[in-house]
Amino acid sequence: MIAQPETKLRPVPAPEQAPPRQTYITVRGLSKRFGGSVLYESFDLDLPQGRITSIFGPNGCGKSTLINMISGLTPVDAGEILFDGKTLRDTTIGYVFQNYRDALMPWKRAIDNIKYPLEIARKSKAECSRRADELIASFDIGFDLHRYPYELSGGQQQLVSIMRALAPHPEVLFLDEPFSALDYEMTLFIRDKLQEIFVATGVTMLLVSHDLEEAVYLADHVLLLTKRPTRVAENVRFTAPRTRNAGTLSTDYFIQTKAHCLEIFQREVRK
Amino acid sequence: MNRAAVSIAFVGPVLLLAVWWLAFDAQWVNHKLLPSPWSTVQSLWESVVSGSMTRDFLSTLNRTLSAFAMAAAAGIPVGIVLGSNQKVYRSIEFLVDFFRSTPATAMFPLFLLIFGIGDFAKIAVAAFAAWLVVVFNVAYGVMNARQTRILAARVMGASSLRVFRDVMFFESLPQTFVGLRMAASVALVVIIVAEMFIGSSDGLGRRIIDSQQVFDLQQMYASIIASGIMGYGMNLIFLGIEKWLVHWSGK
């Protein structure tokens, strides 16, 4: 277990006022086929900066494929994806995989896993250590990061994965069902940790989820997708103030938003 | 391991000795074929103490390790190249499988023709057989690298070279060690047989067949046990290195 469940992120002093919430990721004319079937066809999408967007939809609609194409893990058949006008090559991103066990490198200690993206970016040893210390302080880590990943619990490993993804100060953080391999206790803990990180850093997040409650709870935007060929069914706003907590889950606003999303989801599944 | 586990591990060997002794004592087997365990152990002990076995033991060990070293040095790079390139692997998969299935001993005459009747012919056959095992396992290890880890490194902006050096290499290590261990025992098997049948002045294989020819059965059994000790010892050493170097294996 992580030492203290109730830890707070140390607020990172923001250099300026919050940046304007503008369109950040633009997807234009995206097409993707798997085998003979069309997954995406002329798909357009705008995602805002400094927001958490949850992606939710029917099985097999390509939620993960969508973020994998945006993050460059899966090649697109056609289309253009830009980050504030830049290509992926000029953009620093972080990616948290569902399966932390397969995503971390077991031959490196947890701390060296966290530093790895910085080494790739050719940062000096001192810079790597400084950034790692910064992350450790802001995550308030209560376990020994000099252990190997397989010596840590599942939740601790996923925390290490998130720290690794955040290490190079990504402009976008992609999360592919980051909680689905965790037990409920750990899910709640890491979910709130993610929200703290978001409040403290304002990093743009793109979260694939198969749990509607979690999708709405974390999101500014819930992107509901249709069955394939996949389109956007609706982009639902959820503006409950942060920091959200267990109380948020029982507010009328949350319940109504979730019910609305569920309605659209069921309508799409039945189609 | 606690004491109970240690004592359980002794049950098998003690039982074997008991059955051996019974078979000898009750004359289940002709004494000409089966000496008593004590006289065998005594013969082994005398050979060790007098140093008469040392030379044979060391030459066999030397040949086996030479063959193994050649197999590893030539097999690991080839395995990595094959494993990281599916097309190349597919195109020669049949050849690797075919020669892996061909008894190495069937190649003795060919290798004798090529390398002459010297020591090197024996080492070369053993190295060839062990090399195939190394190549196959290393290639397999590289091919089966966890896709997620490779993607994770790529998404962080790692170049192909870095993905290879930082991820694929380590991913292939557990399987590489499986291959190296198998290669060492294959090399030992081939070397022992080669010493027996393709003319050698020393080595455990030579010693085993010589004692059989003069009907010194104690010595024959003692030499068999010595070659077993060599094989088991090599395996143990490799397992130790593997556990230390590939600490994450199976976790």
Mean pLDDT over residues A46-67, rounded? 92
Mean pLDDT over residues B30-37, rounded? 86
* Chain B partners within 8 Å of A160 (Cβ): none
Residue from the list B155, B162, B173 with its beta carbon closest to the beta carbon of A95: B155
* Chain B partners within 8 Å of A71 (Cβ): 155
The 10 Å CB-count burial string (b at 16+, else e) for A102-122 is ebbbbbbbbbbbbbbbbbbbe
- Scanning every residue of chain B, which has its alpha carbon at the shortest distance from the alpha carbon of A121? B157
* Chain B partners within 8 Å of A104 (Cβ): 149, 152
Q: State which CATH number among 1.10.3720.10, 1.20.1260.10, 2.40.50.140, 1.10.540.10 fits the domain covering B35-245.
A: 1.10.3720.10
The amino acid sitting at A180 is: S
Distance from CA of A6 to the nearest CA of B (A): 30
**Quick one: pLDDT at residue A142?**
84
Contacts of B215 (CB under 8 A, 6+ apart): B32
- Scanning every residue of chain B, which has its alpha carbon at the shortest distance from the alpha carbon of A166? B156
- Scanning every residue of chain B, which has its alpha carbon at the shortest distance from the alpha carbon of A99? B148
Distance from CA of A171 to the nearest CA of B (A): 12
Q: For chain A, which residues lie within 8 Å of any Cβ of chain B, measuring from their own Cβ?
A: 71-73, 92-93, 95, 97, 99, 102-107, 116-117, 120-121, 148, 150, 168
For residue A58, count CB atoms less than 10 angstroms from its CB and return exposed for 0-12, middle for 13-18, buried for 19 or more.
buried
Does the structure show a pLDDT above 60 at A9? no
- Mutation target to probe the B interface, by most B beta carbons within 10 A, among A91, A97, A105 is A105
Strands (E), A113-181: 172-176
How far is Cα A221 from Cα A253, in angstroms, rounded to an integer?
14
Mean pLDDT over residues A161-174, rounded? 94
Residue B167 touches chain A, beta carbons under 8 Å: yes
Partnered with residue A223 across adjacent β-strands are A55, A235
Q: Do A102 and B148 touch (CB under 8 A)?
A: yes
Q: What's the gap between Cα A12 and its chain centre?
A: 20
Direct distance between the N- and C-terminal alpha carbons of chain A, in angstroms, rounded to an integer: 44
Contact call for residues A113 and A164 (beta carbons, < 8 A): yes
Strand order in the sheet with A221-225: A93-96, A172-176, A204-208, A52-56, A221-225, A232-237
Residue B245 touches chain A, beta carbons under 8 Å: no
Does the structure show a pLDDT above 60 at B21? yes
Strands (E), B56-159: none
Which one, of A143, A56, A161, lies nearest residue A106 by Cα?
A161
Contacts of A122 (CB under 8 A, 6+ apart): none
How far is Cα B161 from Cα B153, in angstroms, rounded to an integer?
11
Confidence of residue A22 (pLDDT cuts 50, 70, 90): low
Which one, of B211, B247, B217, B249, lies nearest residue B56 by Cα?
B211
Residue B169 touches chain A, beta carbons under 8 Å: no
Q: Do B247 and A148 touch (CB under 8 A)?
A: yes
Distance from CA of A163 to the nearest CA of B (A): 13
What are B154-184's pLDDT values in tens digits? 999 999 999 989 999 899 999 999 999 999 9
Q: Do B152 and A103 touch (CB under 8 A)?
A: yes
Query: What is the crossing angle of helices A184-201 and A154-166, to 10°?
Result: 20
Contact call for residues A165 and A197 (beta carbons, < 8 A): no
Does the structure show a pLDDT above 90 at B241? yes
Does the structure show a pLDDT above 90 at B11? yes
**Quick one: pLDDT at residue B124?**
95
> pTM value?
0.81
Q: Is the peptide bond before A170 cis (omega within 30 degrees of 0)?
A: no
How far is Cα B201 from Cα B199, in angstroms, rounded to an integer?
7
Give φ, ψ of A77 to 5 degrees. -80, -40
Confidence of residue A180 (pLDDT cuts 50, 70, 90): confident
What are A241-252's pLDDT values in tens digits? 998 998 999 999
Residue from the list A102, A121, A148 with its beta carbon closest to the beta carbon of B157: A121
Contact call for residues B205 and B196 (beta carbons, < 8 A): yes
Residue B164 touches chain A, beta carbons under 8 Å: no
Mean pLDDT over residues A132-152, rounded? 91
Confidence of residue A21 (pLDDT cuts 50, 70, 90): low
* Chain A partners within 8 Å of B147 (Cβ): 102
Q: How many residues does chain B have?
A: 251
Does the structure show a pLDDT above 50 at A4? no
Contacts of A193 (CB under 8 A, 6+ apart): A9, A139, A159, A162
Domain boundaries, chain B: 1-34, 35-245
Mean pLDDT over residues A195-221, rounded? 93
Supply the DSSP string of A154-169, one letter for each residue: HHHHHHHHHHHHHTT-
Does the structure show a pLDDT above 90 at B55? yes
Q: Rg for chain B (alpha carbons), in Å?
A: 22
Does the structure show a pLDDT above 60 at B104? yes
Confidence of residue A12 (pLDDT cuts 50, 70, 90): very low
How far is Cα A221 from Cα A239, in angstroms, rounded to an integer?
8
